[in-house]
Chains A and B, each alone.
Chain A
Amino acid sequence: MIEVNDLKKSFGDLHILKGITTKIEKGEKVVVIGPSGSGKSTFLRCLNRLEQPTSGSIIFEGEDLTKASEKRLYEIREKMGMVFQHFHLFPHLSIIRNLTLAPVKLGLMSQAEAEKSARAMLKKVGLADKENAFPNQLSGGQKQRIAIARALVMNPDVMLFDEPTSALDPEMVGEVLNLMKQLADEGMTMVVVTHEMGFAREVASRVVFIDQGVIAEENTPEEFFTNPQNPRLQQFLSKVL
């Protein structure tokens, strides 16, 4: 579904990604971990070209994103949901309008269709009673569940999660992870950058360790956590587990 070939990204002289090659199959749940500054978030943000890669290619459903026109890029992004660390809900809109804005303004659904779909999504994330609330009336965990619902209304083929629980109070991490687990069980293709090792172990079909701008190791969660090969990974795991 997503093929990444020799992806490089530099900010001036700072080389963040130094050649990443990997393939994400349909239905896979890839969890990306790594020390801060390793480039894992930049990697994720390159996948929908929120960051413009310096070189390399990203083939999504047969189409090279790095060569896509700007117009085409926005169309491709409709199929790639993204969830941010800081939610980025639209504070001036009610929850239901947060969910319906994109599908309606993009002409994908009528307002009525979008609202129907949004209500179904709110029910799914357990916040059906919040449709007329505003984002600043919600807790962090609720905001992130709404952000996930907002991405899901677009009916994406893949969901990208950029440290979705890092900005949450500890007691709210669980509700968001549970929702992500539920999504995974439903077969959603997911790429998740996170520090939640428990989630990686339980949900991932593959865990990728990015260190100093390269994939230092990738494996099934069992092998990855019980039998790490790369010394940097061994060191990293000894600190976080």
Chain B
Amino acid sequence: MSDLMDKIHSTFIEGDRWKYLTNGLKTTLIITFFAVLLGMVLGFLIAIVRATHDKTGKMKIANFFAKIYLTVIRGTPVMVQLLIIYYVIFASVRIDKTFVGILAFGLNSAAYVAEIFRSGIMSIDNGQFEAGASLGLNYRKTMMYIIMPQAFKNVLPALGNECIVLLKETSVAGYIALEDLTKGGDIIRSVTYEAFLPLIAVALIYLIIVMFLTMLVSRLERRLAKSDRG
């Protein structure tokens, strides 16, 4: 028992090594938060393009590029995308790594968010579009006031899950030497030669955050289900 206490002490307390974890967590949360924002905004715009094309046949060129984007982003690992953005696209400029992380994970998430939004829009009965049109509401107004509020509600749980996935995916940020939570644990491991404690600690922190977010999503789902029943 005292052996374990000693180990905890030497792993986390000595040299204030716990700060690797807290600073790492801060970085992870910052990257996740802004990447989610970027992903939502960009994903929403891509979804509008895709759905408008599917529904009206317009925006052919924008849809073409959107499709390429989705294919490339969803067809390659996020880690490779991160490495390419850092070592290829920003190779010759000094740039804040956190920013690179936000950009890489945000661009990646946007592709998934776009498909979530699009499926939400396409799941709305075509009669809703027709009802809007028959009242004189054009496509844009029908989208804005009739389709989007319903679609958004339908996809909220899926969007919540995307946030959870994104949080976990940021754990590869260490590959561009970003000191996120995972990297923080790994640094402790490399200093103390003790793998068990720091890595388990990192896993626990992720788990707690994910469980918290999962609880929020399922609470949201219950609330939405209730309002569906009227």
Contact = CB atoms under 8 A, between A and B. Distances in A.
A84 B138 contact: no
Given A84-B130, A136-B228, A91 B150 contact: yes
A92 B131 contact: no
Contacts of B128: 88, 90
A81 B137 contact: no
B133 interface: yes
A151 B135 contact: yes
Contact of B230 (A71, A84, A105, A136): A136
B214 to A, nearest CB: 26
A50 to B, nearest CB: 6
Contacts of B138: 70-71, 74
A195 interface: no
B145 interface: yes
B146 interface: yes
Query: Most A CB atoms within 10 A — which of B130, B132, B133, B135?
Result: B135
B127 A84 contact: yes
A81 B130 CA distance: 12
A75 B134 CA distance: 10
Given A88-B125, A136-B230, A74 B145 contact: no
Interface residues of B, number: 21
Given A105-B145, A134-B230, A74 B130 contact: no
A88 B137 contact: no
B131 A84 contact: yes
Given A90-B146, A92-B149, A74 B133 contact: yes
B136 interface: yes
A88 B130 contact: yes
Interface in B150-168: 150, 153
A105 B133 contact: no
13 contacts: A50-B134, A77-B136, A78-B135, A82-B130, A82-B131, A84-B131, A90-B131, A92-B150, A101-B137, A102-B136, A105-B141, A106-B137, A154-B136
Given A88-B127, A89-B131, 4 more contacts: A84-B134, A151-B135, A154-B135, A154-B136
Interface of B: 125, 127-128, 130-138, 141, 145-146, 149-150, 153, 228-230
